[in-house]
Amino acid sequence: MSLNSGHELVLVVDFGGQYTQLIVRRIREHGVYSEMVPYNKAADVIRERNPSAVVLSGGPRSVDEADAPTMDPAALQGIPTLGICYGHQWLAANMGGSAKKAEGREYGRQALTSVAANSWLAGLASRQVWMSHGTEVVQPPTGAVVIASTDGCPVAAFADEANKRYGVQFHPEVSHTPAGKEILRRFLFEHVGLKGDWTTANFIEESIARIREEVGDAKVLCAVSGGVDSSVMAALLTRAIGDRAVCVFVDHGLLRKGEAQQVRQAFTEHFHPRLIVFDARARFFSALAGITDPEQKRKTIGEQFVRVFEDHADDLKDCTFLAQGTLYPDVIESGSSTAAKIKTHHNVGGLPDWMRLKLIEPLRWLFKDEVRALGRALGLPEEMVEREPFPGPGLAVRILGEVTSARVATVQEADWIFRTELRARGLQVGIWQSYAALLGDVRSVGVMGDERTYENPIILRAVQSEDAMTATAAPIPFEILEHIATRIVNEVPGVNRVLYDLTSKPPATIEWE
């Protein structure tokens, strides 16, 4: 099932480029719905879905190699098409022009040295473009004319206005091409003639209709963790089917200070579902007693979720569906935008076998920022919509050594001070995650009020990241760190030292365990 019934659709054919997802996002930012399709399925999908336009992505290969990625050019007949980088070369090579390996590679910022008057690229505020290629177009496709060049690339762009076929050797989707947004806007609205009918309000309306159709009279189990994705998913389901969205929140006692309470409040105050809270704190703490190994902690927590669901079989036995907050990047990562990927819910950690639930994933076409916009439109409070990613096993992986309720309280207090101080100065902006961790089994000697202390250290970690795959330590000013350290040692019992983690990922990871 796809989203565009009755709407404008731009399909982005993926030839394996590193920016393909970004092209999809940029098109959606213009209010036009877009999806990615792998090149080997592209022709069939285009014929089936009849998109308003097609964009051909970049890719690591050269079009003149024997087994280079390709598709049936006839599928593009009559459809406005924009080729980017590899896509630009592919259009030339397959539509009557030619492309060949260049003498050298052209990489990085370049300037368009000539641009044809009255063309698609005329009069842009900036002529700076981002290039990354080792193959170039020699002859544009039949009917197309060259409309821009750089010093190293004679055919940097071409246009065939009659057939609405365009190509750019550079990448308009990256921020290093300052006029990239305008270039895509002109393509979508002036050349293809789209209107831009992809809005959050439309999405809500259509998703509700789709959920109602799929679910019928059944009940849907929505396991919520307090994170953005599951909260938005539950809010959407509740809007669609009211109380038949059975929202369950397992309080394992391992959330940040005040967050369990916040989840309850946000749900009951902001969209009034029947939120079922299973207070499983005692169960989790007793199961975690004596465990120090990080993987063992994760496994134990996963198992306890299953036990909690088993304990409450009576409350849940009527549910025939399970809603998951899978997002579009997860779907894309599975290798195909048309194949479903079933992701184990981090926070549920697998459900018991007797729950043979059908899966629904209402957010599987959305990017994270779109999910946040959707959450706002559904009335979720800002603190919930803007919440940082948080690991499913919670504070258990931020307490090194055994997890006890006393240690959880210590880490919660330190974490609270750290994050409150960052927020008070607006420093949380641009930070991917920030948290406090406790070295539970390490003690050091200190002195406080003339007395010797022998207590635990707290580690502060704040990182900048795009996607959690890599990360760097956030450059928080030293005086602020010092102030925070003083507050933590003064206000949190049992802590006499504070350290700031400067390590990037790799070689470290974001979490300590």
Report, as residue numbers or ranges, the catalytic residues.
85, 171, 173
Q: Which of 133/298 has CB closer to ligand XMP?
A: 298
The torsion of the CA quartet 82, 372, 350, 335, rounded to 10 degrees, works out to: 10
Tell me which amino acid residue 151 is: D
Least Å distance between CB 119 and ligand XMP? 45
Of residues 324, 412, 433, 456, which one binds ligand XMP by CB under 6 A?
433
Residue 218 burial (C-beta neighbours within 10 Å; 0-12, 13-18, 19+)? middle
Q: How far is the CB of 301 from ligand XMP (least distance, A)?
A: 8
Taking contact as CB under 6 A, which single stretch among the options 275-283, 377-385, 391-399, 406-414 is the one that binds ligand XMP? 391-399
- Report, in Å, the least distance between residue 501 CB and ligand XMP: 12
Q: Quick one: which segment of 12-20, 54-62, 154-162, 390-398 binds ligand XMP (CB under 6 A)? A: 390-398
510 binds ligand XMP (CB under 6 A): yes
With binding defined as CB under 6 A, does residue 291 bind ligand XMP?
no
Kindly state the DSSP code that residue 452 receives in the 8-state scheme: E
Q: Which stretch binds ligand XMP (CB under 6 A): 121-129, 191-199, 327-335, 389-397?
A: 389-397
Closest to ligand XMP by CB, 181 or 505: 505
Residue 97's H or E segment, with its range, is: none
Are the CB atoms for 32 and 198 separated by under 8 Å?
yes
> Please, which of residues 339-358 interact with ligand XMP by CB under 6 A?
346
Residue closer to ligand XMP by CB (options 134, 389) is: 389
The one segment of 161-169, 320-328, 488-496, 503-511 that binds ligand XMP by CB under 6 A: 503-511
Long-range interactions of 342-346: CB distance < 8 A, separation 24+: 345/223, 346/225, 346/391, 346/392
- 59 contributes a contact to ligand XMP by CB under 6 A: no
Rg of the chain (C-alpha set): 27
DSSP-assigned states of every residue in 464-484: E-SSSSSBEE----HHHHHHH
Beta-carbon contacts of 60 under 8 Å, excluding residues fewer than 6 positions away, are 16, 17, 86
Please, which residue, 51 or 440, has the CB nearer to ligand XMP? 440
From the list 141, 391, 440, 457, which residue makes contact with ligand XMP (rule: CB under 6 A)? 391
Does 509 bind ligand XMP (CB under 6 A)? Our answer is: yes
> Is 230 an interacting residue with respect to ligand XMP (CB under 6 A)?
no
Span of 46-54, 350-358, 373-381, 384-392 interacting with ligand XMP by CB under 6 A: 384-392
Nearer to ligand XMP, 141 or 394 (CB): 394
**Minimal distance in Å, beta carbon 330 to ligand XMP?**
12
Q: Which is nearer to ligand XMP, 62 or 347 (CB)?
A: 347
* Residue 253 touching ligand XMP (CB under 6 A): no
The token pair at 19 is: 């920016």
- At its nearest, how many Å lie between ligand XMP and the CB of residue 291? 15
Q: Are 4 and 49 in contact (CB under 8 A)?
A: yes
Per CB under 6 A, the list member of 185, 298, 461, 497 interacting with ligand XMP is 298
Amino acid identity, position 237 = L
Give the residue nearest to ligand XMP (CB).
346
189: left (phi over 0), alpha (psi -120 to 50) or beta: alpha
C-alpha–C-alpha distance, residues 436 and 50, integer Å: 51
Measure the CA–CA gap between 493 and 409, rounded to whole angstroms.
10
Question: In sequence order, which residues have a C-beta less than 8 Å from that of residue 478 and are 6 or more positions away?
Answer: none
Of the residues 389, 441, 445, 477, which one makes contact with ligand XMP according to CB under 6 A:
389
Q: Note the residue count of the chain.
A: 513
Give the span between the Cα atoms of 511 and 435, in whole angstroms: 9
- Cβ of 307: how many Cβ atoms within 10 Å? 14
Q: Which two tokens stand for residue 418?
A: 């750290």
The burial class, CB within 10 Å (0-12 / 13-18 / 19+), for 325 is: buried
Residues 6+ apart with CB under 8 A from 261: none
What is the Cα–Cα distance from 139 to 486, expressed in whole angstroms? 67
Residue 501 binds ligand XMP (CB under 6 A): no
Nearer to ligand XMP, 89 or 412 (CB): 412
Tell which one of 102, 204, 277, 468 touches ligand XMP (CB under 6 A).
468
Contact 265, 258 (CB under 8 A): no
Near ligand XMP in 392-421, by CB under 6 A:
392-393
Decide whether 86 or 284 has the Cβ nearer to ligand XMP: 284
Instruction: Kindly state the number of chain residues that form the binding site for ligand XMP, as judged by CB under 6 A.
Output: 12
Q: How far is the CB of 410 from ligand XMP (least distance, A)?
A: 20
Q: Are the C-beta atoms of residues 131 and 87 closer than 8 Å to each other? A: no
The nearest distance, CB 414 to ligand XMP, in angstroms, is: 17
Q: Rule CB under 6 A: is residue 505 a binding residue for ligand XMP?
A: yes
Residue 216 near ligand XMP by CB under 6 A? no
Enclosing H/E stretch for 382: helix 382-385
User: Shortest distance, CB of residue 505 to ligand XMP, whole angstroms?
Assistant: 5
Nearer to ligand XMP, 246 or 397 (CB): 397
The answer to whether 387 and 227 have CB atoms below 8 angstroms apart is: yes
Q: What is the binding site for ligand XMP (CB under 6 A)? A: 298, 346, 389, 391-393, 433, 468, 505, 509-511
